[in-house]
Amino acid sequence: MADLYGMDPARIERLRSPERLEYFDPAKIWDALDPDPSVTLIDIGSGVGFVTLPSARRYPQATAVGCDILEGMVALLKDAASEEGLGNVDVRHMEPGVVPLDADSADIVVMAQVHHELDAPAPLLADCARILRPGGTIAIVDWKDEDNGKSPAAGRRVPPNRIRAELTDAGFRDIQSHEIYTFHTFLSATLPA
Ligand SMILES: C[S@@+](CC[C@H](N)C(=O)[O-])C[C@H]1O[C@@H](n2cnc3c(N)ncnc32)[C@H](O)[C@@H]1O
């Protein structure tokens, strides 16, 4: 088996499973947001790159930056991008709530299946607002707050109204709900230009 850098093999297999594409295809995020092809996009909680890698393939002129708090995830994503020769992928280790990027340096932040794992969403969303340029977009995809056979148990899910309030508190506006996933809520919001 390839080096998993101490990560739980079952967790990595779940994150890499192509079966996920049947209900969570990251391409639909970009179909909905239709970014400029030379966008700088930051995938926070990137894991093994389920969003970062296809985004970098879809937009070769873009820069896709994967950030995660786990060194093992960072190493696995670095390996995958390098094995595929994706020169437009950058990978960073981050501390919770601190994105290791300059202010006003990103166009889009995406967080996929991360929100329900956050101990402190407020400082992270504030830091997302810091790194985004004026008019920049944040996209949050997380499990629906319902018993549907896929979402985690009640208590480990985040109601969309709470995410909306957190986004508003962090300075985001124009919050939109995209009803495109069966098991996931997808909210986008923008910073004032
Ligand atoms: C369920 S995985 C999803 C990974 C990836 N987005 C995907 O859809 O395959 C959640 C990821 O978020 C990371 N994570 C959890 N809390 C975080 C935080 N505060 N900041 C950044 N990443 C975090 C975890 O280490 C993990 O890699």
Residue 22 belongs to a domain? no
How high is the mean pLDDT of the chain? 97
Residue 24 belongs to a domain? no
Domain assignment of residue 137, given as a range? 37-190
Residue 106 belongs to a domain? yes
Report how far apart, in Å, the C-alpha atoms of 179 and of each of 26, 28, 43 are.
Answer: 14, 11, 21
pTM, two decimals, is 0.98
Q: Report which residue type is found at 139.
A: A
Q: What is the CATH number of the domain that holds 89?
A: 3.40.50.150
Give the DSSP H/E element, type plus range, for residue 162: helix 160-169
Residue 179 belongs to a domain? yes
**Closest CA relative to residue 63, chosen from 125, 112, 109, 15:** 109
120 Cα to the center of ligand 1, angstroms: 13
39 Cα to the center of ligand 1, angstroms: 22
Residue 102 belongs to a domain? yes
Cα 128 to the chain's mean position, in Å?
11
With bands split at pLDDT 50, 70 and 90, how would you rate the model's confidence at 101? very high
CA distance 172 to 146: 25
| pLDDT greater than 70 at residue 1 | no
Q: Closest Cα to atom 23, ligand 1: which residue?
A: 45
Residue 79 belongs to a domain? yes
Residue 113 belongs to a domain? yes
Q: What is the domain count for the chain?
A: 1
Q: pLDDT > 90: what percent of the chain?
A: 98
